[in-house]
Amino acid sequence: MSMDRAAAVERVEELVDRVESETMPVPVREVWVYGDVALGLDPIERLDVYVTKDILFKDAPERSEEFRRSHGVDGVGKTVRAEWADEYPDYLRANANGHAAPERCLAAHLLPDDTDEPIHLEVCNASFDDNVTQRLKGAMARGDYEQILDPRGACLWVDGEPSEGRRASSDGSSGGHRSEEAFEKLRKGEFVLPTLSGALEMLGMDAEEAEEAADAVRAYRDRQEGATVRGDVV
């Protein structure tokens, strides 16, 4: 299954609208797209979206036991906002250990459960650029290239005006800045970006390794179906 380019851009706009206007399980700081949609392809084989979030340390830890009893999920008020769980209890998701999982909660909130859209949500506490570098270093050290993050991305939204730094409003929604220029370039396919192997070479790989890594990334993506999510901590 693929997605028309116009539909893919519209889908990202809807996602950004929700991040801007609704309480999120954790503070969201950036929204990027990368890969096919940033390259101007039509149709899009997979829509790759990157979300930078904050790690939540203190929210309402005294409510954790309450949600454990009512929903069977630990960590609400610690790893995800209790206010969000009150408002959107149907989106509450846990990891295999029964603890509230921010990336799964974000995916449940932003992507319908019954969707078969070819969309991937990548969630990390690090910015896109920083995570690209960290993942590449790790992949090169291990010789395992499947989890390399495609560096060909475009930032569409940041929390707070760029000149003001990053901030979140008191109600849990974000007072963010949307890059209309980036969205317009995305609609028209005007981003000028290298091949994946070329981009990896620019980041320090030699040509042969970059080709091997690019093939591994493409093969991994080709095996994915429907909506997927991956959480990462750097």
Q: What is the mean pLDDT of residues 80-97?
A: 95
Percent of the chain with pLDDT over 90: 85
Backbone angles phi, psi at 10, to 5 degrees: -60, -40
What pLDDT is attached to residue 232?
Answer: 85
Per-residue pLDDT band for 140 (boundaries 50, 70, 90) equals very high
Strand 119-124 relative to strand 228-232, pairing: parallel
Q: Which residues of 159-174 are buried (b: 16+ CB within 10 A; e: fewer)?
A: bbeeeeebebeeebbb
Q: Specify whether the CB–CB gap between 111 and 227 falls below 8 A.
A: yes
Q: Mean pLDDT for the chain?
A: 90
Q: What is the mean pLDDT of residues 81-108?
A: 95
pLDDT score of 161 more than 60: no
pLDDT digits (tens, 9 = 90+) for 32-73: 999 999 999 999 999 999 999 998 877 899 999 999 999 999
pLDDT score of 201 more than 60: yes
Q: What one-character DSSP code corresponds to residue 223? A: T
pLDDT digits (tens, 9 = 90+) for 6-19: 999 999 999 999 99
| Calculated CA dihedral for residues 31, 34, 37, 40, nearest 10 degrees | 120
What pLDDT is attached to residue 175?
Answer: 59
Tell me the β-bridge partners of 28: 53
pLDDT score of 162 more than 90: no
Residue that the structure tokens 């799964």 belong to:
104
What pLDDT is attached to residue 169?
Answer: 31
Per-residue pLDDT band for 220 (boundaries 50, 70, 90) equals very high
Amino acid at 8: A
List, as one string, the DSSP characters of 64-94: HHHHHHHHS-B-BTTTB-HHHHHH-GGG--B
What pLDDT is attached to residue 93?
Answer: 95
Gap between the Cα atoms of 94 and 227, Å rounded: 17
